[in-house]
Structure 1
């Protein structure tokens, strides 16, 4: 596959090629499934659900806000003729927070790119399913979820129910491949360490790597940094990279960086046990690309963030974290638009770890952590209730089909 093809387009192509395998797998089952649940990149499996008379659902591992933009984008496509990023005003979604043009999802950056065609198709196909499962919960996005249920403008394009069943996050992993990492964390003061990671796909330019390294050093705060070699291409290039980190030397960092910071920082090449790290009481902040999985892992761990969006819907996530929830700081300019300087990084890190502003955010995210746990409660949890409702709806839809 051509490496210049955008990630969204690649994923859609891969899912498209897998459709015959899904159909044949279902055909070979002695006991057919009761429903078909597809990822947001698998909406073209809709005919398979119809072929086998199955209730059909889309699982969106992101926010209700992103989902609202996705299903409403075909309407915006008809209303707005030029590039979205050149619009003078925010993009309005009925009943929801508006989206600044600079924060639109990657597929909307260029209407001439194939990934925009795929995104429009997804938005239209979402509305054909029996429901959408969201990795969110009522107390986190009450306004947007209410819009899906009550707002006439949004319901005109999306009549099927939306089920917020989150937070769905990874469990802590066995303490392997940590090389003394947890022992080091155990020795650090409470809430004193900044964790820096850009997810499984995020990369920085060489210039930005240098500025980030200097910013961390100048802040004089403790840190754990998951490092990858810099990219000269797109910030999401690591998604399809085969680099296993074996060549991951620190030569791309400032000279002497490791020596000068040997007592205050730890570098982890390529990958780290993120959930284990965020759950540790010594962690006081998370500098993150704002991928939704990482964002949820930070929230359920009660850790405030520095939002550093790179691709996909991460700019929307960063806006949500900073403007709606108040649990994150962010650079003045988007990191995808300019190199963030060391002085600004130093200030962001120090503010989050040491300043009262950071403590206020820490208090807010801890309250969200409680609502996240409450949502999953079997007694009165909203997400548990919605999961139960999904199962009930599937039974109701399957009953007449089985006759």
Structure 2
């Protein structure tokens, strides 16, 4: 029709890893379905994760968004073999910039807005070449965003290591971050990942806006603080857009028939789902204690198990879904036989959203990755918080102390071994005790607030403002 307004064309850049890729793909889906936009998503593939490849192929088959895979550049000469995952992704995304710029120039339809994920900040300046607005998408909570934006100030104000501070790290208008809660890149100021994180903190504040995967009723005080010019105006002038909850949608399941047939036979809210995300691995000793704790609790469970690491951390980040585990070799002898009637152990990967949405699931033993956390809230499932890396220690505090929808162990899993008796009690508290019922009621309240966030005055409105 003559004079019809052209659709906005959003270009989104995603870094590798399921924790980054899934929220970017879902953001693209929302822009297409709710805002009638054209969306092109550039994905930097890790080239090593079977699950990541499956998610990309599935998104391509839906044909909602154009998904273009950028092959990962060779960074072997730029990072040490034992470099932290954060460093590897940061360097990877810096080196992809020329290929991304060239690919954007080859698009059939001119882009009207550029959105990069947290690690894609090196490509923000490409938007200036196209004379289009540029935004950063932070698929985490507002408290983590506040810490990130304030990091350049902390860098100057704090002498020595953050983990050695005696008091919490001050953030204007927000809950202080305790030394034991700091994100991994802040554990050592001499590590390259700290310098990469500091650089990101400076760059994202220079964008035209920051999208964060939260909503007003989930973090009202933190969002209010971030908008307070008296507190933050001189630190970051980038507007904050709460666009959540953006979560992965359930899909029809063709495989895992045995798993869902088993779930269908279980009573409502009786099964504990145990999974530590796309990067979480436990030490062999901790895995054995967890196995004993699950067995002693006598509660039904589904446990996604990966080969143990020398120490807990993010060792499987780039290889999730490759399915090469020999489960019995590192679990207590006889565990699978003794728990055969009450639990299922799955190697390496499981359809998490579909499991959490099943009526038989009543608890989530989780690493507190933000994607997993939102999926748990959307499906009214209370949590046992087991943070391992990244911002998960902050997330655990938010869930336990502010939102009160989770329980956690006295010992930080990243600091020491949590023993079987404590694990047994955590499981029973969340699955059986009155305390667990009260937590479940609060999760259901949060789900209602999440649904309200997608009305015309909430998250949907925030996304519409970005497209204008």
Q: TM-score range by the shorter chain?
A: over 0.9
Q: TM-score, normalised by structure 2?
A: 0.82
Aligned residue number for residue 289 of structure 1: 367
Q: Could you list the per-position Cα deviations for residues 224-279 of structure 1 after superposition, in whole angstroms to 9, with x for gaps in the alignment?
A: 00001101145100012377223433210000000000000001111111001101
Q: 1:174: Cα distance to partner?
A: 1.7
Q: Which of these residues, 232, 251, 255, is aligned with residue 310 of structure 2?
A: 232
1:280 and 2:358 aligned: yes
Q: 1:173: Cα distance to partner?
A: 2.1
Q: Which of these residues, 402, 427, 432, is aligned with residue 354 of structure 1?
A: 432
Q: 1:151: Cα distance to partner?
A: 5.0
Aligned residue number for residue 173 of structure 1: 251
Partner SS for 2:301 = strand
Partner SS for 2:344 = strand
> What CA distance in whole angstroms lies between the structure 2 residues aligned with 1:135 and 1:195?
23
Q: 1:50: Cα distance to partner?
A: 1.5
Aligned residue number for residue 47 of structure 1: 125
8 Å CA contact retained: 1:173, 1:273? no
Which runs of 5 or more structure 1 residues have no equivalent in the other structure?
393-403
Q: TM-score, normalised by structure 1?
A: 0.95
Q: Could you list the per-position Cα deviations for residues 131-179 of structure 1 after superposition, in whole angstroms to 9, with x for gaps in the alignment?
A: 0011111111111111111252223211111101111111112212213
1:25 and 2:98 aligned: no
1:11 and 2:89 aligned: yes
Partner SS for 2:316 = helix
Aligned residue number for residue 384 of structure 1: 460
Q: What do you get for the CA RMSD once the two structures are aligned?
A: 1.2
Aligned residue number for residue 115 of structure 1: 193
> What CA distance in whole angstroms lies between the structure 2 residues aligned with 1:76 and 1:275?
37
For residues 75-114 of structure 1, the aligned pairs below 5 Å read 75-114=153-192
Aligned residue number for residue 406 of structure 2: 328
Q: Could you list the per-position Cα deviations for residues 176-204 of structure 1 after superposition, in whole angstroms to 9, with x for gaps in the alignment?
A: 22131111111111111100000011100
> What CA distance in whole angstroms lies between the structure 2 residues aligned with 1:192 and 1:214?
19
8 Å CA contact retained: 2:272, 2:364? yes
8 Å CA contact retained: 2:168, 2:176? yes
8 Å CA contact retained: 1:95, 1:151? no
> What CA distance in whole angstroms lies between the structure 2 residues aligned with 1:98 and 1:26?
40
> What CA distance in whole angstroms lies between the structure 2 residues aligned with 1:26 and 1:246?
37
Aligned residue number for residue 395 of structure 1: none
Aligned residue number for residue 264 of structure 1: 342
Q: 1:291: Cα distance to partner?
A: 0.5
Aligned residue number for residue 124 of structure 1: 202
1:71 and 2:161 aligned: no
Partner SS for 1:372 = helix
Partner SS for 1:284 = strand
Q: 1:30: Cα distance to partner?
A: 4.0
Aligned residue number for residue 7 of structure 2: none
Q: Which of these residues, 128, 133, 136, is aligned with residue 58 of structure 1?
A: 136
8 Å CA contact retained: 2:293, 2:423? yes
Q: 1:390: Cα distance to partner?
A: 1.5
Higher helix share: 1
8 Å CA contact retained: 1:35, 1:54? yes
For residues 338-349 of structure 1, the aligned pairs below 5 Å read 338-349=416-427
> What CA distance in whole angstroms lies between the structure 2 residues aligned with 1:193 and 1:249?
21
Partner SS for 2:349 = coil
8 Å CA contact retained: 1:95, 1:154? no
> What CA distance in whole angstroms lies between the structure 2 residues aligned with 1:136 and 1:294?
13
Which runs of 5 or more structure 2 residues have no equivalent in the other structure?
1-75
Equivalent pairs counted in the alignment come to: 390
> What CA distance in whole angstroms lies between the structure 2 residues aligned with 1:381 and 1:228?
42
Partner SS for 2:249 = coil
Q: 1:376: Cα distance to partner?
A: 1.3
Partner SS for 2:171 = coil
8 Å CA contact retained: 2:264, 2:360? yes
Aligned residue number for residue 213 of structure 1: 291
8 Å CA contact retained: 1:284, 1:353? yes
